[in-house]
Amino acid sequence: MKFSTKEDLEIPIEETFGLLSDFESFERAGMRHGAEISRTDKLTTPSVGMGWKVRATMRGKPRNFTIELSEYDRPNQMTFNVNSKNVKAHFLVELVALSRNRTRMRVELDVRPRTLSARLLMQSAKLARNTLNRRYKNRISHFATDLEDRHKRNLKA
């Protein structure tokens, strides 16, 4: 099942990419929301091969999954592979400069089942596809607004 949306940001492309590749802030945010997150690599700067082990409660159950940064093309795109026992996912963030101070961010999530139970869950999710698409677009929209707010705070500091 694939989800995709675009958001236009009032942030230059380099700064947008910098905000998106601040992985430590995303790790802290996940931990504040109750996830257990640990790095699986020893890299000191963002690059291909970065990885995380995550344990989080989703849909009322503890879930374990791994995330690996599989493509890092500054300032154009990042690709992540997400793997768990039941599903695998491909997560893409692509940036395009619209002008000096404006960037289009495209965020795509492609989720594939690995087990029969995950396949059944995906079938039922397809019935609610419009609702899931709307939720996905709302979350990305809120995320884009948060990025713009962080950018404005950074300018004032």
Range of the domain at 29: 2-156
Q: Which amino acid is at 107?
A: V
Q: How many other C-beta atoms lie within 10 A of the C-beta of residue 127?
A: 9
Half-sphere exposure of 19 (CA within 13 A, CB side): 24
Predicted model pTM: 0.89
Over residues 10-55, the pLDDT tens digits come to 999 999 999 999 999 999 999 999 999 999 999 988 999 999 999 9
Helix (H, G, I), strand (E, B), or coil: what is residue 35? coil
At 67, which CATH number? 3.30.530.20
Over residues 61-86, the pLDDT tens digits come to 899 999 999 999 999 999 999 999 99
Domain count, the chain: 1
Q: Are 86 and 117 in contact (CB under 8 A)?
A: yes
Nearest to 90 by CA among 102, 82, 78, 98: 82
* Cross-strand bridge partners of residue 97: 103
